[in-house]
């Protein structure tokens, strides 16, 4: 399993969290997804042989939000 952190500056309400987490958990290979509303951090644990960071960003996009890789 691999962990990565994405960042989104578009989180405006707590329902954003549920939408993003649900979309990420729908990606094949994603084990866990946690969105931190106040910081905009999106932590994802996934199997890199089944999913890529691009897949994760696309899942956030399909939920209606933008995300980019974050160093922390």
Query: Which residue, chain included where needed, has tokens 């960071």?
Result: 53
Q: Which CATH number fits domain 2-69: 1.10.357.10, 2.40.30.10, 3.40.640.10, 3.30.70.100?
A: 3.30.70.100
- Token output for 8: 């989104």
Indicate the domain borders of the chain. 2-69
Answer whether 0.75 is exceeded by the pTM. yes
| Alpha-carbon span 4 to 19, nearest angstrom | 19
Assess contact for 72 and 4: CB atoms under 8 A: no
pLDDT of residue 72: 56
Q: What is the pLDDT of residues 3-29, one digit of tens each?
A: 999 999 888 788 889 999 999 999 999
């Amino acid at each position: 399993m691999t962990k990565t952190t994405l960042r989104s500056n578009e989180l405006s309400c707590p329902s954003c969290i549920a939408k993003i987490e649900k979309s990420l958990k729908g990606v094949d290979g994603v084990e866990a997804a946690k969105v931190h509303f106040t910081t905009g951090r999106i932590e994802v644990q996934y199997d890199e042989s089944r999913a890529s960071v691009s897949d994760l960003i696309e899942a956030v996009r399909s939920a209606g939000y933008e995300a980019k890789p974050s160093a922390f």
